[in-house]
Amino acid sequence: MAHSRIAAVDVGNDSLKGIFGKLDSKLSIPNVVARDIEDRPIIGIEELDEQDPLTGIHIRVHSPALKDNNAIYRVGHLAAKSNNSAELDPGSSKSEEDQTLILLFAALALDAVEAKEFKKKNNVIGATYTLGTGLPLREVKEGKDVGYRSSLLGAVHQVEFLVTPKYQGIKVSIKLDEVKVYPEGFAAFINLVMDDQLNIINQDLIDKRMIIQDIGGLSTDIAVIKNRKVDDDKAQGFNLGVSEALEQIREEIRTRHGVELDSRRDVVEIITKKNDRNHIMVKGSRTSVHDIVNRILLELAKKQYRHLRNIWQRNSQTEICYFIGGGSIVLKEYIKTLNHNLDGYNIDFFEDEQESIWMMVNAYYKLISDYVGRQKKTEDKLVKTK
């Protein structure tokens, strides 16, 4: 354990968020990949190392956990610019997609290159991690966390940086000492009520009966919290996220205005930006797409609200529902309006959008840090008794 670095990683449908070490490194990568060739053409190769590595992630990934092993990918911002970029499809399982692992290994490799505890020899870095991550409640209830965890443990996963700024030619061999896979709803509850040392910071909430509705890109998880834990029988997952709506908006903008947006993330920026929200540039002219956005997102918000109503009716003693996740930011005003006009449930959103987006990975970090701390105490006791 002494040489194992902590990694908390949330592979969200919109983007990966990671926290590493002793909170000394954080990164975010759009969840987009594209197959590529080894010698990708690049203009200004001489200036490559002056660029941010996150803007040009170009890697070969080798792992027995992958269905398509030893393939070459553009990842994140670089992939979003490709004609053959891939984002996760509605209905897909996070635990069974190569794309989830490609993002995960890329993030670990990017951290390992800069981590002081790992040494580089002949352009090869050996990196060992203790990983805290999570899966949707639906997948955990189906037992998919077991297979996901076992595919990561007991193997060496290698990432080779190809035409990537600053890291070209470096290989990172990744070994995972331990992998903890947490249900996403429970993780959200932990983050709501506890600090980094898992001390209770929100006494008002700790014993409340609550619903946590996590709206993601591809799915929605609804956790029912009672007696400080997730009620497994009541927890539900639905293949209903914001990705499909974002694709609809993107397609309608393309059809009506002839404007091609690179990815769903571009759509999110248009509908969440502080100034000039729901406007795009068409041939140099500022143009409103409010009617397109409003119609499609209102329809999705109605479906999300229907799920809330059904869950609340079956858990009538619920005191509050928290909406979290990137999708809740997109749908917040629509859901608030529906609730005001209809049932008037006690619901809440996080006004700090970054807090909502980073909530899950913050929880994983708290949980995996606590696990490592307890392991160390156990080891120290064993040493003293010898």
pLDDT at residue 6 greater than cutoff 70: yes
Q: Can you give the pLDDT at residue 44?
A: 53
User: DSSP code of 346?
Assistant: -
Give the pLDDT mean for 102-106.
97
**What pLDDT digit, counting tens, does each position of 159-175 carry?**
999 999 999 999 999 99
Domains and CATH numbers, the chain: 5-186 (3.30.420.40)
- Which amino acid is residue 30, in one-letter code? P
**What pLDDT digit, counting tens, does each position of 226-248 carry?**
887 778 778 787 878 898 899 99
Q: How long is the chain?
A: 386
Name the residue with higher pLDDT: 223 or 337.
Answer: 337
pLDDT at residue 288 greater than cutoff 80: yes
Give the pLDDT mean for 33-54.
77
Q: Can you give the pLDDT at residue 75?
A: 95
Give the pLDDT mean for 128-150.
91
Q: Picking from 34-38, 156-160, 290-294, which range would have the lowest pLDDT averaged per residue?
A: 34-38
Mean pLDDT of the chain: 88
- Which amino acid is residue 302, in one-letter code? K
Task: Note the helical H segments in the chain.
Answer: 77-80, 98-114, 137-141, 144-152, 184-193, 203-206, 243-257, 264-272, 290-314, 326-341, 353-385
Q: Which residues contact 105 (CB under 8 A, 6 or more apart)?
A: 61, 63, 157, 159, 174
pTM for this predicted structure: 0.85
Which of 172, 179, 204 is CA-nearest to residue 105? 172
Confidence class of residue 91 from pLDDT cuts 50, 70 and 90? low
Give the pLDDT mean for 318-343.
92
**What pLDDT digit, counting tens, does each position of 176-219 carry?**
999 999 987 777 788 778 877 778 877 777 888 999 998 888 78
Report the b/e string of 11-28 with b at 16+ CB within 10 A.
bbbbbbbbbbbeeeeebb
Three-state DSSP class for residue 117: coil
Tell me how far apart the alpha carbons of residues 236 and 354 are, in angstroms, rounded to a whole number. 25
Give the pLDDT mean for 261-289.
88
**Residue 315, both tokens:** 């858990």
Backbone angles phi, psi at 27, to 5 degrees: -150, 155
Give the pLDDT mean for 297-326.
93
- Measured between its terminal Cα atoms, the distance across the chain in Å is 19
Confidence class of residue 141 from pLDDT cuts 50, 70 and 90? confident
